[in-house]
A and B are shown apart, each in its own frame.
Chain A
Amino acid sequence: MIGHTPSAEMQKREGAPALAGLRAQAIRNTGRRVLSFPAGDRAAFAIGLVLTLLLVSFFSWRMVRNVTRDRALGPVPMSTPTPPPPPPAPGH
């Protein structure tokens, strides 16, 4: 079978692998790789990328806010009155 040219019927039956072979041939001919994600894969990848970037951005924002707020805490006058009676603890 090696070297055998696939018939149209075989190509139809084999379908996808035939296409893969043609792509491989194209790559050999042109020396370039071809980006050809199926649309569904592209969408899934894009969604995953966006979710990951959102999570990383959220972390960065929370960290910056955390540090900023922490550093912003400054001394208050020692004469600050004591707070009002504590709120009742849950269940007490």
Chain B
Amino acid sequence: MFSSRLKARIPSWHKWMGLILTVPLLAWIVSAAGMMLITMDLPNGLAGVYRLQPYNSVDVNLGAATVSPTALLRRLSTEHKLDRVHWMRLESRGPHLWYVVRPTPFSLAMTFDARTGQRLDPLSDELLALSASEALVGTRFEKLESVPGFNRYYEIDRVPAVAATVVGEQPSILMLSRDEGRTLRRIDGDAEGFEWWYKKFHVTQYTDNVIPWTTLLYACAAGVITLAVMGYGLFWWRRERPVASVNTAPGPFSARNFHRKAGVVVGGVLIVQLIAGVYIWLSLGPLNDPFRGKSSFTKEWKAGITTQHELAEPAAVLAKVAGSLPESPRPVQAIEWRRLGDQDAWFITLRQDERPIVFDAATGARIDALHPQLAGEIARQEIIGQPSFEYLGPLHFASIDLNRRLPAYRFRFADPGITDVYVMQNTGEIVMRRPAFWRLFGPFLAVHMIAVSGNKTVDMSLLALFQLGFLIVIATGWRLQFPGKRASNQKGARARTPIERMVPEEVDAGEDMVGAQS
């Protein structure tokens, strides 16, 4: 199967590849340990725990908007050629009062000053700084950096966004969208540390250009797998040969002995882990869009509010729902106009850290939860091909916007990706799409992390043991290459003995690392 010539070359390849691939291997081992330690005690994972600002810092009466929602709709029709919008929201932000309009469920929003009608998006740095200061309790804005990024809710490949650093009681980085200042992600110290280890050392992504860095990553992974396979080859081909020489007297604690034994113990596990890791990065990197369910976005969305529709004035909305709202020390924070099926609805936000209260616009009746059929139909409008769906039941699901779990429905759609869609019970808003592709992820991650028992301590200990094994293989490999002055002298003195010379080359083809260098 292998020619003598090839066998003779493999030791040298194994040696040099091992030395070179020490760099990524060490990076993977150390970063895995770093990420493992960071996530050990996080109560809410990398999503973190935050106290959101319940109220805008300035009390602004939403009824003070001089631009009416209907007038804005007409303008969207005439100036922006929109025939419908997904929703429109009037909200206060600091001293400002503005309308945010989402033309489709997947598009960037448009922001307009509610007093002058001036278009504000993309938001200036000043407005984003203001948004950052209004986001978390006890924090103030410090600095801002433009960082366009991937987001599962938008069709656009990279959402224009900024990383706003806030300091104070909850120091963190807020990823704010340029279109409306929406908080796309919150990154605290732990999440930042995790991302640093993950991006720089575990998946080697140094810029936002995924393909070249993925090529490098996969080349390293392929190299390490090849290295391990060659190691097994050498182990097998040398089975008739006793260990090294007598002069170097390799005992049970010699580098060679450790390298060989530790190598065959952990090599197979390393190969399996790497194959799982390759799949995982395929999901989180090059195929992130379909993995996050973006393939289920419809191109023919025809729901929402038509731009010829009449919407109730903010003051009229507030007057109509006033009697049904709980007591609040501060003014209403936001009004959102939406269509839920064939009925108009108003979402009234009393506190920014809680979900809005939903009202039927026609009757003024409060809607605590949509019927699952209606919620599913609303979601169906946003799924490619408007396929049939099955209702899988109610549950609580994490809302990134509000950093808490909220009542939701789960549906399974018959789209090409067989996507599970999680819909908020009271608003009909899709909060998550999980295609079948996503749902296969768990076993790969479990194998990659050797999370076999379900017990965090046991699993982390197992992973640590294997990492120790990898480190022993690396360290002993280097020791074999650089055995030190004393060992080098001994080997130099030990020229090939007569009996060794009599041994045919094919038998001795598996020259080891020490042999190859001496």
Contact = CB atoms under 8 A, between A and B. Distances in A.
Contacts of B240: 20, 23-24, 27, 33-36
Nearest to B250: A16
B404 interface: yes
B49 A92 contact: yes
B239 A35 contact: yes
Contact of A70 (B373, B398, B436, B501): B436
A29 interface: no
A36 B507 CA distance: 13
A36 B239 CA distance: 6
B327 interface: no
B507 A24 contact: yes
A62 B51 CA distance: 37
Contacts of A56: 272
B372 A89 contact: no
B43 A62 contact: no
A62 to B, nearest CB: 4
B79 interface: no
A62 B442 contact: yes
B488 interface: no
A73 B501 CA distance: 69
B393 A87 contact: no
A22 B404 CA distance: 73
Contacts of B396: 83, 86-87
A55 B269 contact: yes
Given A40-B261, A76-B391, A82 B407 contact: yes
Contacts of A52: 268-269, 271-272
Contacts of B404: 86, 89, 92
B276 interface: yes
A16 B239 contact: no
B272 A59 contact: yes
Interface string B429-467: 000000010011011101100101000000000000000
A14 B497 contact: yes
A27 B45 CA distance: 60
A76 to B, nearest CB: 5
Interface string A13-52: 1111111110111011000011111101100110111011
B268 A51 contact: yes
Contacts of A13: 246
Nearest to A43: B261
Q: Is the interface of B mostly helix, strand, loop or mixed?
A: mixed
B229 to A, nearest CB: 12
A59 B447 contact: yes
B63 to A, nearest CB: 31
A89 B239 contact: no
Contacts of B501: 1-2
B403 A89 contact: yes
Interface string B229-243: 000000100011111
B264 A41 contact: yes
Interface in A43-88: 44-45, 47-49, 51-52, 55-56, 58-59, 62-63, 66-67, 70, 73-78, 80-83, 86-87
A44 B264 contact: yes
A10 to B, nearest CB: 8
B479 to A, nearest CB: 18
A51 B252 contact: no
Nearest to B371: A78
A17 B499 contact: yes
Contacts of A51: 265-266, 268-269
Contacts of B51: 91-92
Nearest to B45: A90
A15 B396 CA distance: 71
B395 interface: yes
B446 A62 contact: yes
A20 B392 contact: no
B412 interface: yes
A2 B498 contact: yes
Interface string B20-55: 000000000000000000000001100001110000
Given A37-B239, A66-B443, A70-B436, 20 more contacts: A10-B497, A14-B499, A17-B246, A17-B503, A18-B499, A23-B241, A24-B240, A25-B502, A33-B240, A41-B239, A41-B264, A44-B260, A48-B266, A55-B273, A80-B372, A86-B406, A87-B396, A91-B49, A91-B50, A91-B51
19 contacts: A1-B501, A3-B498, A15-B242, A17-B246, A18-B499, A21-B499, A25-B502, A40-B257, A52-B271, A55-B268, A59-B272, A59-B443, A63-B440, A70-B439, A78-B373, A82-B425, A90-B44, A91-B50, A92-B403
